[in-house]
Structure 1
Amino acid sequence: MGERGAEAVAESARYAIIGAGLSGASAAWRLAQSGAEVVLLERDVPASHLGSSHGSARIFRYAYHDPFYVDLVVQAQRGWAELEASSGAQLITPSGALDCGIVRDPRGLANALETNDIEHELLAAGSAKARWPQLNFDSDVLWHPSAGVIDAESAVEAMVALARAAGAEVRLGWEAVSVHHARSGYLVTSTNGDTVHAEQVVVAAGGWLPALLGELDLPSGFADALPQFEVRQENAFHFLYRDARDCGEGLLGAATSWPTFIYKGEDIQTYSLPGGRDAQFCGQKVAEYNGGRVIPSARDQDGQIDPGNRGRVVDFVERFAPGLLTTPYAESTCLFTNVPRDDMIIDRVDGITVLSPCSGQGAKFAPLLGELVLDLVAGSQRASERFRAVGQRFAGV
C-alpha cells in the first residue's frame, strides 16, 4: 500500500493498529508479515518525541528477579537478531549491565539469571570498584555482559519499514479518538472525522491510552478488569564523561565505553545508560525511576523539567558516579505508563486488543510484542495469563 496523510479516505482492513511506537510498530510488522491486511494509525510520526519510543537510548537487559521475565528477554533477543538481520541496521549496541543497591538485590537477580543460564558475575563492592573506578558502590554488584543499549527510534523505523514492505498501510497525522462497534467489526474515528473500518483493532497508544479508554467499545466486565494506568512525565539528564576518551561513536558492533546500570537504594532508585545519539556520544543518561510527576495522560505533558528531580539526580551523580561531570548538559522528558503490578498488559476482548508493555520495561521486548499479539488474535494462549487484564489499583486509589 504505502504512506498517506491525515486527509486519506478510509478503507477497510483486517487489523487497525493505533500507535506507531515500539509496541504498535512491532504489531504492524508481525501481523503484516503473516499476510494480514494492516493499517497503522499514528497521531504524529513513528517514534514521536511526544510518545514513549523516541530517542537512541533504552536498556536491553536480562536482569529480572522473576525467571519468567528472564526467559521472555531470551525470546525477545531472537526477535532482535531477526530485526537487525532483516533491516540491515544495528539496533542494540553491546554495553553490559550493572545492578546494585541494597533494594535492587543483586544476589536475587543473580539467582534468576542462573536459573535461565545467563552469563553473569556477582561481585563485592570493592571488586566492582576496582573494575569500574568511575563508579562507587555500596552493595554487592551484579554484572551481566550480554546487556546493551537499544536505539529505540531506529528500531521503530525498521519495524515500520518492514511492515510497509509486507503490505501494511501507514497513516501519519491520524489521531484516533474512538473505537466503536460497526455492523461488522469496528469503526475507528480520528480527530477530524476520518474513519477506518477494521475487523479487529490493536490499541498500542502508550501514554495516550488513558484518554482513549473511555471511547473504546469494551464490555463493562473487561473494562472493569483493566488495571489503573498511571502516566508519569519522567525527567532524563545527560552528564558528560570526565575522561574524553570515553566519548565517540565507536566502530559498528563495538561496545560502549560505559555499562548501563540500575541502582536501587533506600533513598533513591535510578537507571543509567550511554546516551548515544541523544547525548552526542559523549555522556551518560541518568534518570530517577518513577521520579516524574503523575499526569492524567500524555495529552497533559508540558515538557518542563522538575527542578526537585534534577537536584536529586545531580546529588546521586555526585555521590555515585565520580567519572561524570555533575552538571547536566542535556535534559529531556519522556513518558512512563505504569500499572500497579508492573506486568505488561496484552489482552483482548471480542475484536479489541489492548497492548501496553508498562512500567518502563517494554522496549527490550519490542520484537516479541508483535509475536504475542499475533498469537493472541489467532487464538493462541502464548501471551500468557500473566498479561491478562486483572483489576489492580494503586494504593490509596
Structure 2
Amino acid sequence: MDDIDVAIVGLGLAGSAVAWAVSRRGRSVAAFEAYGPGHRRGSSHGRARIFRRAYLDPLYVELTGRAGRLWEELGEQAGERLLTRTGGVDHGPAREPERMAALLQEHGVAAELLDRAEAARRWPGIRFEGPVVFDPEGGVLDPEAAMAAMVRLAADAGAHVAYDTPIRALKPDAEGVTLITDSGTWRARTVVVAAGGWTGPLLDGLVPLPPLTVTQQQVFFFDRKDPGPWPTVVHGETSLDIYALPEGSYFKVGEHVNGAVTTADDRDFTVDPAARERAVAYARAWLPGLDPVPRSELTCLYTSTPNEDFVLDRRGPFVVCSACSGHGAKFTPLIGELAADLVDGRPPIGRFALR
C-alpha cells in the first residue's frame, strides 16, 4: 500500500491543473485517470476552447483575470504557448453589450463597445445586428497541450501519474481515504475528485452534492472562406446561445444549450441531426465568412449545476473539484490553485461552496 498526501481522481483539464498546483507546493501526489491521455470520453479533449474576460458576473470577470495570468505562467514553465490572444466578440441582446462593456472596463479590461458598422468592418465574416463588445484579452487555449504540459510538470515535481487506472472504490476513515484500483491500493490523507461526469457516481454516499446534470453536447467544424484573423464569438439571442472560435484552419461552432441528458458511461457519441441542422442554419445566417457545410463534428460532455456555478469545496478528506457547466476550461490553472488551497485547509469561494 502506497501512502501519499494527495490523490487526484481524473486527469482532464481540472485534474491536471490540480496535479500541477499541488505538486509544486511540495506535497506527495498520485493522480489517476480511468482512460488514456487526451481521451474523448469526457469534456477536455480537442485543441481549442475559448478564453474570455467577457462575463456579466463580476466574480467571473475577476477570476478570469487571475486565470489569464496563470495561463501565461504555465506557458512560460512549459516552454510553449498554450493561450493565443485572438480577441473575442460578444453580441446579441442576451449578452447585454452595454452593461458588459462597462463591467469589463471597471475591472481594467480595455474592452470596446462597437456599433454594428464598425464591427462589420473589422470582422466581415460575421454578421451583427446590434452593438458588439470586443474583449482584447480573449483568445483560444489548447486543452490537450495544456493537459500534457501540466501533467509533465507535475511528474517532474515528483507526482505519480497513472493512466488507464480507474478507481474502483473510495473508502474514507479517520486518517484519510483508501483508494482501490485494479493494480493496487493507495492511502491518501486528501482525495481531490476532478472526474467531470463521473463525479456524482464516485462520490455517491460520501459527499452530498448539488444536482449535477450530464449532457452530451456536439460541436461542428467549418472551413473559413476568409483565413482571418478571426476572434472568438459568443452570441446570445432570445432563442440562441452560440459560441464559435478558430481551431486551426477551421471555425468551431457549438450550442451552450440543447444537449441530451445522459451519463458519462451511457452517452452514445452520436451527433444529433437536429443539432447539425441548427449549426448549418446558424452558419448560413450569422457567419457568412464560413463554408456552411460542416467538415467534421464531435461530441463532448457538460456536467452542469443548476446555476452554472462551479463546485469547489472540501468535505472531510474529499475535495470536490467540479469545474463544470460548460465554461470551466478558461479557468483551468486557477481551478488547480483553488483546489490546492482547499487541500491546504483554506476556505472556499462562497459561491462555489457545498450547501
Normalized against structure 2, the TM-score is what? Answer: 0.97
Alpha-carbon deviations, 1:185-208, whole Å to 9, x = none?
111123x37322111100000111
Alpha-carbon deviations, 1:94-122, whole Å to 9, x = none?
21000011112111211210120101111
Q: Which range is displaced more, 343-352 or 194-203?
A: 194-203
Normalized against structure 1, the TM-score is what? Answer: 0.87
- How far apart, in 2, do the equivalents of 1:166 and 1:128 lie? 46
Which residue matches 2:235?
263
Alpha-carbon deviations, 1:223-258, whole Å to 9, x = none?
1xx211011110000010113x44xxxxxxxxxx21
Determine if the alignment matches structure 1 residue 208 to structure 2 residue 198: yes
Which residue matches 1:107?
98
Aligned residue among 131, 138, 144 for 2:129 = 138
Which residue matches 2:217?
234
- How far apart, in 2, do the equivalents of 1:58 and 1:261 lie? 11
Cα RMSD over matched residues? Answer: 1.4
- Runs (5+) with no aligned partner, structure 2: none
* Maintained 8 Å contact 1:235/1:305: yes
Determine if the alignment matches structure 1 residue 21 to structure 2 residue 12: yes
- Secondary structure of 1:137's counterpart equals coil
* Maintained 8 Å contact 2:172/2:317: no
* Maintained 8 Å contact 1:22/1:47: no
Determine if the alignment matches structure 1 residue 274 to structure 2 residue 211: no
1:210 partner amino acid:
G
- How far apart, in 1, do the equivalents of 2:176 and 2:127 lie? 57
- Secondary structure of 2:26's counterpart equals coil
After TM superposition, give the deviation of residue 331 of structure 1 in Å. Answer: 0.4
- Secondary structure of 1:234's counterpart equals strand
- How far apart, in 2, do the equivalents of 1:85 and 1:193 lie? 35
1:258 partner amino acid:
W
Which residue matches 1:116?
107
- Runs (5+) with no aligned partner, structure 1: 1-9, 247-256, 276-280, 391-397
* Maintained 8 Å contact 2:224/2:250: yes
- Write out aligned runs for 1:80-229 (5 A): 80-182=71-173, 184-190=175-181, 192=182, 194-214=184-204, 217-218=206-207, 223=208, 226-229=209-212
After TM superposition, give the deviation of residue 146 of structure 1 in Å. Answer: 1.3
After TM superposition, give the deviation of residue 183 of structure 1 in Å. Answer: 6.0
After TM superposition, give the deviation of residue 162 of structure 1 in Å. Answer: 0.6
2:220 partner amino acid:
F
After TM superposition, give the deviation of residue 177 of structure 1 in Å. Answer: 3.1
- Secondary structure of 2:265's counterpart equals helix
1:36 partner amino acid:
R
Provide the aligned length of Structure 1 versus Structure 2: 355
* Maintained 8 Å contact 1:232/1:290: no
Off by >4 Å, runs of 4+ in structure 1: none
- Secondary structure of 1:174's counterpart equals coil
- How far apart, in 1, do the equivalents of 2:21 and 2:148 lie? 14
- Secondary structure of 1:242's counterpart equals coil
Which residue matches 1:70?
61
Which residue matches 1:378?
344
Which residue matches 1:252?
none
The alignment-based identity, stated in percent, is 39
